[in-house]
Chains A and B, each alone.
Chain A
């Protein structure tokens, strides 16, 4: 069975989703979904281990060899992403049962878990596959379920947010599809590896340039790169807390994975960075994203909005690392993928706990919560410190490597700007800390107690991961390094 791991990774959650309809009680569906996600996590861990020891794993679906059939091609990069997605999904699901009882009507619980599993399977499918069209198919699965999940939010504005996301996401997916179609027309193949061999022959044509432009713009819409980020804040703010925690940690990461995969593996480094001025383009967009979004975050009144804007800023950091396009730069991006997933899932889950007790995440409601919900608030503080990049947290590790990469390339002013961006993070995290610890509790919130155990456990698993991987960086750095070196064609 070990040889079938790549396909099981995707198939297990995919087939589990329809099975949920056969279970009657929502508690049972939750347990089932949790088990499935845990199984996916186990598979991804095994896959990563296999890749680290024996290199790329190829799996031919339907038994047809590559350009004719579809193949799964797991290298360091995919395996790393698979691990991030499935681990976050599992921990977040742990909290789901308690959290959605307050946020989603009971008769919709099974649909929630079905859509959640479909979304998980979609993201895993995008990452695992080695076929460009297969990417699009799974992109549709993950996006469609995402729109529905976001629209399930209690606030009626969730519907409008989901609708905006639907329009923007569909435009993005269509652009990617147009790009894939044009590539197919010029090469006659859809397999990524095969594309990378056949594209250089036709790289000078205007059609391939158009294909590249469409793919890049489509992906940037999906990853909410500034200034294409407008759908993100509301979608994250009004979605159910569990959904926000899951998507903030994974959805944009998958888009960044696609960006890396298409620019580095499919089109090739030399083409990608000469066809469009990606260096300077992404550097400027990344930096303006960091500043615009961080400043916007400072002025938010809803804490979910605040952290959503902070997510856009963090995407900016990843894009800056990408624009450097050296092994260290890419490594910093990959590290930040991992680390940011840990931070944001912890933070949004903690907000889910606040939502559970208070029913709102307006900043004004946080008054005095430091005393009333000390464990939850401590989690938010540590998550916030990690966001800023304080040593001993994961945030420090990725920022360290990012600055290292930038300085290696001699971009001193950029390094300064990155540090300045972190200072802005201090400001918006401080606003929450000040509210929670230096103000007396609101009279309306007098009876608020600490969040239930079932929420605190997953939150603190993620918080501890934030600290653990900030100190013991062997796993994340080793994998990120191997992935980035293999993308640059250096044999480790």
Chain B
């Protein structure tokens, strides 16, 4: 039965992969990529890797789909026709693929208890982590304690991505004359709220009701990572997606009033620093970097505290970087379409007068 599910899921994956290659409409391609992510997540669940599945669902199916949507909003939705036939690329892909298949021939069978991965390092994680780290979710104890430095690196990767996007896309804000502008901004929000009955009425009201629950769920995922699937990465992404939702339905300028660009940058930095400073504290207490047992008298309590803090750092950085990337993309779009948005604004004003 289980293999039947696997076969169906994998067949879907292959089918979708081909469809992605063939399709010319980028919007459809992005939707298919989202489905691809969701299917992979389901496949991971079938393989009992729920933590990975959770990440794949929130990142692969969720946030990356959104980011790609913002991108094609700028670039246009159809693919440019390619004149040359990329035979070389095809040859490279075929060679790589056949080498991969060749490599599988001597692999241990999937799920075999005799496989080296289950014999060497894993037994200690499975048998001793509850005594050494004290966290029921083994995946969390591996990634947040045994291999905490890798996770730190991953957080810095995300931070780097955010800084890279800022360095390339950030636009200089024109200095505004503050008082009058502020009044106008508030007026604009009123306008948007008033115009609700015309634009996306249902969506906006449903969003307003949903957002608190999304935030609540993000916090649950953040703090429940020790006990079940979840943790800072997934929580950060979920948190950010609520903000995306708000920005998409209420407009960038409204979202900007809630989230300040330089504040969110600092928040991204603070996440990394919080994570790193846990390590620094253990250094100062005379233990090795990221040795959480130095954080408290009781080593297990120290591990708990350490994991809590670093997961917080992860969530902080991931959420802020996602928002940074989304805002930078969307700002780019706004700048390109200033004329259009002015037009909308005028329309709103006229409506208001009526």
- A135, chain B: closest CB distance, angstroms: 10
Of B18-26, B146-154, B240-248, B333-341, the one touching chain A = B146-154
Cβ contact of B104, chosen from A111, A188, A207, cutoff 8 A:
A207
User: What is the bound-complex CA distance between A63 and B99, given in angstroms?
Assistant: 39
Is there contact, CB below 8 Å, between A4 and B160? no
Answer whether residue A453 sits at the interface, using C-beta atoms and an 8 A cutoff: no
- Which parts of A38-63 form the interface with B (CB within 8 Å)? 59-63
- Which parts of A132-165 form the interface with B (CB within 8 Å)? 133-134, 137-138, 140-141, 144-145, 147-148, 151-152
Is there contact, CB below 8 Å, between A186 and B116? yes
Answer whether residue B102 sits at the interface, using C-beta atoms and an 8 A cutoff: yes
Is there contact, CB below 8 Å, between A11 and B276? yes
Binding site for B on A (CB under 8 A): 4, 7, 11, 14-15, 17-19, 21-22, 59-64, 67-70, 107-108, 111-112, 114-115, 118, 121-122, 125, 131, 133-134, 137-138, 140-141, 144-145, 147-148, 151-152, 178, 182, 184-190, 198, 202, 205-211, 213-214
- B109, chain A: closest CB distance, angstroms: 11
B276 surroundings in chain A (CB, below 8 A): 11, 14-15
Binding site for A on B (CB under 8 A): 99-100, 102-108, 115-122, 124-125, 145-150, 153-154, 156-157, 159-161, 163-168, 170, 172, 265-266, 268-270, 272-273, 276-277, 279-280, 283, 287-293
Cβ contact of A22, chosen from B121, B166, B269, B289, cutoff 8 A:
B269
- A33, chain B: closest CB distance, angstroms: 13
User: What is the bound-complex CA distance between A122 and B159, given in angstroms?
Assistant: 13
User: What is the bound-complex CA distance between A59 and B291, given in angstroms?
Assistant: 12
User: What is the bound-complex CA distance between A33 and B149, given in angstroms?
Assistant: 23
Is there contact, CB below 8 Å, between A69 and B103? no
- A288, chain B: closest CB distance, angstroms: 19
- B85, chain A: closest CB distance, angstroms: 19
Cβ contact of B288, chosen from A60, A141, A205, A209, cutoff 8 A:
A60
15 contacts across the A-B interface (CB closer than 8 A): A19-B273, A61-B290, A62-B288, A68-B124, A111-B167, A115-B160, A115-B167, A118-B159, A151-B168, A152-B168, A186-B108, A206-B106, A207-B106, A208-B106, A210-B99
The 9 closest A-B pairs by CB, nearest first: A210-B103, A148-B164, A188-B120, A63-B291, A137-B153, A18-B269, A111-B167, A188-B116, A205-B106
> Can you add 9 more A-B contacts, CB < 8 Å, to A7-B288, A107-B172, A188-B118?
A15-B272, A61-B288, A111-B166, A115-B167, A118-B159, A118-B163, A148-B168, A151-B168, A198-B120
Is there contact, CB below 8 Å, between B160 and A141? yes
A68 surroundings in chain B (CB, below 8 A): 121, 124-125, 146
Is there contact, CB below 8 Å, between A112 and B292? no
User: What is the bound-complex CA distance between A138 and B277, given in angstroms?
Assistant: 19
User: What is the bound-complex CA distance between A178 and B101, given in angstroms?
Assistant: 12
Is there contact, CB below 8 Å, between A19 and B106? no
Is there contact, CB below 8 Å, between A206 and B163? no
Q: Looking at chain B's contact residues, is the secondary structure mostly helix, strand, loop, or mixed?
A: helix
B121 surroundings in chain A (CB, below 8 A): 67-68, 188-190
Is there contact, CB below 8 Å, between B157 and A67? no
User: What is the bound-complex CA distance between A97 and B272, given in angstroms?
Assistant: 26
- A40, chain B: closest CB distance, angstroms: 15
Is there contact, CB below 8 Å, between B150 and A137? yes
- A281, chain B: closest CB distance, angstroms: 16
A137/B157 contact (C-beta < 8 A), A144-B164, A185-B108 known: yes
Chain B residue at smallest Cβ distance from A18? B269
A182 surroundings in chain B (CB, below 8 A): 103
User: What is the bound-complex CA distance between A457 and B165, given in angstroms?
Assistant: 33
Cβ contact of B273, chosen from A18, A114, A121, A208, cutoff 8 A:
A18
Is there contact, CB below 8 Å, between A11 and B269? no
Which of B153, B272, B291 has its CB near the most chain A CB atoms (within 10 A)? Answer: B153
Chain A residue at smallest Cβ distance from B132? A64
Which of B115, B117, B290 has its CB near the most chain A CB atoms (within 10 A)? Answer: B290
Is there contact, CB below 8 Å, between A62 and B289? yes
B167 surroundings in chain A (CB, below 8 A): 108, 111-112, 114-115, 148, 151-152
